[in-house]
Every structure is written in structure tokens, then in C-alpha cells.
Homo-oligomer: A and B are copies of this chain.
Amino acid sequence: MAIKVAINGYGTIGKRVADAVSLQDDMRLVGASLTKPSFKAVRAAEEGYDIYVPAGQEKAFGGMKIKGSISEMIGACDLVVDASPEGVGEQNRALYRKAGKKAIFQGGEEHELVQASFNANANYDAAKGKDFVRVVSCNTTGLCRTLNALKPFGIENAYAVIVRRGADPGDSKTGPINAIIPETHIPSHHGADVQTVIPNLPIVTAAVKVPTTIMHVHVISVRLKRQAAEKDILGAFESENRVMVVESGMGLKSTAEIMELARDMGRKRSDLYEIAVWKESVNVKKGVVYFMQAVHQESGVVPENIDAIRAMFSLADREKSISKTNKTMGIR
């Protein structure tokens, strides 16, 4: 029988997970919660999704058909994907616990909130049978995937400089317009976050924020324990799930052209679920492999949410879940 999934928070992540759940034959979308009447609510209705709103707020949604309250939505599901704004997930957990429902939180919440932080490539089994799981952020997901690919070579230590996009494409309020903003605390939190998925991995990260909306870029260096040539590294990336090797020499010179490729690929919202590693950037010097990768901040974690649901209900093992998620979402 299909797992009944509710989406609490229909923003950047929530709306994508809703679509992805709808594509699965072992899951059923109960509906999604919205707190304000906006074009997003209208779109959810046009998708045919049942809409739930805070109790007593139905009138604010004018003529829109409202299915029920958020509590009712929680009551009607087996699992909640909590995609509410950063920090709100923590407050919601009490509700889910009280209702006896499993829940997935997103990377904006703390690891301490859950029983396992999750990345399908790196620690699928850690979520098995758990009630509260956290899908790590897009940046952490990106690092987990490619570092997982490098595991066979032995990781002595890893260092990543994260060049973050300043705001999402649909956000017209947040800046900067013309500045580079350092996260002056080094190490940044991303390294510790990777360790919630891959314990004991020696990794340090640092981050800056820049005026672009479309992707993060990671500049990564990894000291390997075993010798590896560039073609070995590329081979590892090419075989890794949800990692994609792209060539600058084929016109994919920046995040702009990579997202253009994503648009040409024709997925909904022009999303790119894969981490894109620039082929030319893979360079091995004196035992250190250097590479650069681009992360589509809005969509990279969406297939991870689907796999996490399967793991939490033991619906499938790692290989089978990943393969099923990829097939339904068009990931190669």
C-alpha cells in the first residue's frame, strides 16, 4: 500500500517534493499546506493538489477550494515532509510527534532534531526505520555525493570553498546586488554538516556569498590516500549516482550555460538534480585532487527526500530506491 505523504510548506523545496511524490507508485500525495493565498497556492490547486491551511484561515484564500486544516493534513498522512522556513521545522516536530507521524526535515534544521541526517549515496541505511530524518542541505548534499565517489581512493582530508548564490531566482528582495560577502567564520558549518552524514571524514569548508541566483559553485581539494590519475577520478564521478561530468570545452563555461543545458533537458522548472563537475577542473597534483562542481540549490535535494521516505518505511533497499527515484524523475 502506498505511503501517504503530506507536504508542510509549499515553497522552493516543498513544491518540488510534492511533484516528485506524485510520480511514485509507492507513495500518495495527501496534499500540501499553504499559509498565504498567492500564485503558489493557485498553482498547487491547478496541479490538482489538495490544499490545507492554518485552521481558521480558509477565508483568506477567497474562492479557492481548501481541503482542511494543517492538523487535519497531518492526521491524514503517514509521513510529513517538512519544508517550512528555516527554524520552523523545530517547532513543528512536536506536532508530528504528538500525532504519531514520521517526518523528514530539510537542511535548514539542526541535526540534533533528528535520528539521522541523510544522503542517499552516502548513508541510505542510516534512515532505515527511523521516525525523524533530516535531508541535508543542497551544499552538503553536493559534497556528500562527490566525496562518496572518492571514498575508494581513501580521503586523507578534504577542503572546500563554497561560492554561494545570494538568492533564489524567484526572490526579488534579497541581495547583494554588487558585493562578495564572506562567511567570516572558518570553518563554515558545511563541513560539520557533511560529518553528520559521513562521520569522521576530515573536512574543512569556507564560504562566500555572491550576487547570482542560479547555482552554488564548490572549489574542492582532496588529499587522497591512494594514488589516482585524473581519468580514475573522472571515472568515479561518472559512475556516481546523481553526479554529472560536464565539459567547459563543450560550451558549458559557467553556471549560466549549465542551467541552460538543464532548461534544454526539459525537466519541470528546468531543474538539475545532478551535481555538475567540470571535467577540465579535475586535476591531480602531488596526491591532491582538485575539482569544481556546481550545485542547483533548488532541486538537488528533491530526489533525496524521496529516497529518505523509502528508507524510513523500509520500502526498498538503497539501490532499488535510488534507481526507482531516478527513473521516475528522469535522472540518468
Contacts and interface: CB of A to CB of B under 8 A. Distances in A.
Nearest to A164: B180
Interface in A244-293: 246-248, 250-257, 259-261, 263-266, 268-270, 278-281, 283, 285, 288, 290-292
Contacts of A185: 280-281, 283
A68 interface: no
A159 B255 CA distance: 24
Q: What is the copy number of this chain in the assembly?
A: 4
Given A40-B251, A265-B43, A213 B270 contact: no
A170 B281 contact: no
A74 interface: no
Most B CB atoms within 10 A — which of A43, A211, A214? A211
Interface residues of A, number: 77
Interface stretch (A20-28, A76-84, A202-210): A202-210
A121 to B, nearest CB: 23
B37 A256 contact: no
Nearest to A214: B178
Nearest to A246: B39
A167 interface: yes
A85 to B, nearest CB: 15
Given A36-B251, A172-B181, A182-B217, 8 more contacts: A170-B260, A175-B177, A177-B211, A180-B294, A181-B254, A184-B279, A206-B219, A211-B211
